[in-house]
């Protein structure tokens, strides 16, 4: 896991940039704070543009509640301080207004975190805080009471959401995970019934695989170093791109790229996707991992795909919200929508939850030129390509296609291209 050595004010700005840039709060809404070792609270100021926040605008409030500097702290300082008092283990608090979670707030509901295998583990049980006037002591009491019971996140009645963490990174991770869960549930409502995972399935997702043995130190030629460095940089560019496109989140999104017949690079376990660096990626060779590093838990599936398909040069696992709406309702994505989806995606099989853990070789064997993707129920989309650009392009096309289907349902439904048109497309662009 990454450590954050930045000054408290810089961490607060980075967190606010992230949630505002991710569409999780508004210019005037939401607030972020962290507590330092001396017990001071560093918090966003009140009545300032959240989209242009600077470190010198973050307000330090001493342990006895005295603000330092010319700017006023957020109106919600009162509940931030109440949370820190109720939860001595908390080091950071985020209050935000993501539309999907506000939807649950105004519907007086809590998202079911059992629909995705990591969400419950990341977020824990979700609390519900009764309404009170923003900035008031009663609101602070309502929130602190819920979080004191052990909840790390509370949906605030007819308001928004608040979450805590030992660090701002952890608080962001929880917020983003629950927000994705809420978006998936809302989008899935257009398709049918949402299926939650059973306790046995959740346990399967939490199970730890034995660590791979470490690679022995071996010299590399200058050419090998150059190729590997270029591959590391390329993977990180696509990770950043996936985050910008909301195809990945801080918690979800695994990329690997083949280096040779028996080696590939893969994203590390437990790292915030927004902050992965080239040197964080893990080299896998002959079933061994780069010394001192932990690869993604999905490394076994990536390896099986490469072993079964020499023509595949890149593998991506992702949880974009529109595709996951299909996954949690066990609905097959029909690609006969338009030429692009039919050519790029071909057939997208719907795979039951479980084989990605129990039978990765069988799952990998089911892929082919005609089936370069697979949608795994309640888990992710598995995308392959001859290179990383092709795999990423397929991921985008699949997510955009899923989004188009959901939007088409709101205006009358999908009318697929005709059989004659499919034959014409096949003869012109596919030819296999």
Contact between residue 220 and residue 251 where contact means Cβ atoms under 8 Å apart? no
Collapsing DSSP to helix, strand or coil, 259 comes out as: strand
Collapsing DSSP to helix, strand or coil, 45 comes out as: strand
How would you write the pLDDT of the chain (432 residues) with one tens digit per residue? Answer: 456 778 999 999 999 999 999 999 999 889 999 999 999 999 999 988 989 999 999 999 999 989 998 899 999 999 999 999 999 999 999 999 999 999 999 999 999 999 999 999 999 999 999 999 999 999 999 999 999 999 999 999 999 999 999 999 999 999 999 999 999 999 999 999 999 999 999 998 777 777 899 998 766 777 888 999 999 999 999 999 999 999 998 888 999 999 988 999 999 998 999 999 999 999 999 999 999 999 999 999 999 999 999 999 999 999 999 999 999 999 999 999 998 898 889 899 999 999 889 899 999 999 998 999 999 999 999 999 999 999 999 999 999 999 999 999 999 999 999 889 888 888 888 766
Which distant-in-sequence residues (6+ apart) come within 8 Å of 215 by Cβ? 283, 285, 288, 289, 290, 291
pTM: 0.94
Distance between CA atoms of 237 and 253, rounded to whole angstroms? 13
Q: Name 385's bridge partners.
A: 314
Which distant-in-sequence residues (6+ apart) come within 8 Å of 77 by Cβ? 33, 41, 43, 61
Tokens of 270: 């437990």
Residue entry with tokens 């999907």: 100
Residue entry with tokens 């017949």: 261
- One DSSP character per residue, 182-212 reads HHHHHHHTTTSPPPPPPHHHHHHHHPPPPPP
Contact between residue 44 and residue 53 where contact means Cβ atoms under 8 Å apart? yes
Question: What is the structure's pLDDT at 421?
Answer: 86
- Model confidence over 314-369: pLDDT tens digits? 999 999 999 999 999 999 999 999 988 988 898 999 999 998 898 999 999 999 98
Q: What are phi and psi of 142, to 5 degrees?
A: -60, -45
Distance between CA atoms of 36 and 171, rounded to whole angstroms? 15
* CB hemisphere CA count around 362 (13 angstroms): 8
Distance between CA atoms of 247 and 174, rounded to whole angstroms? 17
Contact between residue 327 and residue 375 where contact means Cβ atoms under 8 Å apart? yes
Question: What is the structure's pLDDT at 4?
Answer: 74
- Model confidence over 16-39: pLDDT tens digits? 999 999 999 999 889 999 999 999
């Amino acid at each position: 896991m990454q450590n954050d050595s930045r000054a408290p004010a810089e961490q607060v700005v980075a967190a606010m940039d992230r949630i505002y840039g991710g569409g999780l709060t508004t210019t005037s809404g939401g607030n972020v704070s962290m507590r330092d070792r001396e017990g001071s609270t560093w918090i966003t100021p009140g009545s300032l543009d959240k989209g242009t926040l600077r470190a010198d605008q973050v307000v330090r409030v001493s342990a006895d509640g005295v603000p330092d500097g010319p700017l006023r702290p957020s109106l919600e300082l009162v509940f931030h301080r109440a949370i820190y008092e109720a939860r001595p283990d908390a080091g950071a608090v985020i209050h935000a207004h993501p539309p999907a979670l506000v939807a649950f707030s105004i519907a007086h509901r809590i998202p079911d975190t059992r629909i995705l295998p990591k969400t419950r583990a990341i977020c824990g049980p979700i609390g519900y805080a009764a309404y009170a006037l923003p900035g008031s002591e009663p609101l602070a009491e309502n929130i602190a009471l819920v979080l004191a019971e052990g909840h790390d996140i509370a949906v605030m009645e007819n308001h928004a959401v608040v979450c805590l963490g030992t660090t701002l990174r952890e608080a962001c991770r929880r917020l983003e995970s629950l927000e994705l869960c809420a978006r998936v549930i809302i989008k899935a409502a257009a398709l049918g019934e949402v299926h939650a995972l059973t306790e046995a399935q959740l346990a399967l997702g939490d199970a730890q695989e034995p660590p791979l043995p470490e690679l022995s130190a071996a010299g590399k030629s200058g050419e090998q170093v150059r190729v590997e460095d270029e591959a590391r940089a390329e993977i990180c560019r696509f990770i950043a791109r996936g985050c910008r496109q909301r195809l990945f989140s801080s918690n979800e999104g695994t990329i690997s790229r083949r280096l040779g017949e028996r080696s590939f690079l893969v994203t590390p376990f437990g790292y915030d996707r927004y902050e992965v660096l080239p040197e964080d990626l893990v080299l896998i060779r002959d079933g061994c991992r780069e010394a001192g590093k932990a690869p993604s838990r999905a490394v076994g599936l990536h390896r099986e795909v490469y072993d079964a398909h020499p023509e595949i040069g890149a593998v991506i696992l992702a949880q974009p919200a529109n595709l996951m709406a299909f996954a949690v309702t066990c609905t097959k994505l029909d690609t006969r929508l338009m030429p692009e989806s039919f050519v790029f995606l071909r057939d997208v099989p719907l795979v039951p939850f479980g084989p990605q853990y129990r039978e990765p070789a069988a799952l990998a064997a089911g892929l082919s030129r005609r089936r370069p993707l697979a949608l795994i129920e309640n888990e992710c989309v598995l995308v392959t390509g001859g290179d990383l650009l092709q795999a990423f392009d397929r991921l985008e096309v699949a997510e955009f296609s899923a989004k188009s289907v959901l939007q088409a349902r709101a205006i009358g439904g999908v009318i697929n291209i005709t059989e004659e048109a499919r034959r014409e497309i096949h003869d012109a662009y596919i030819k296999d």
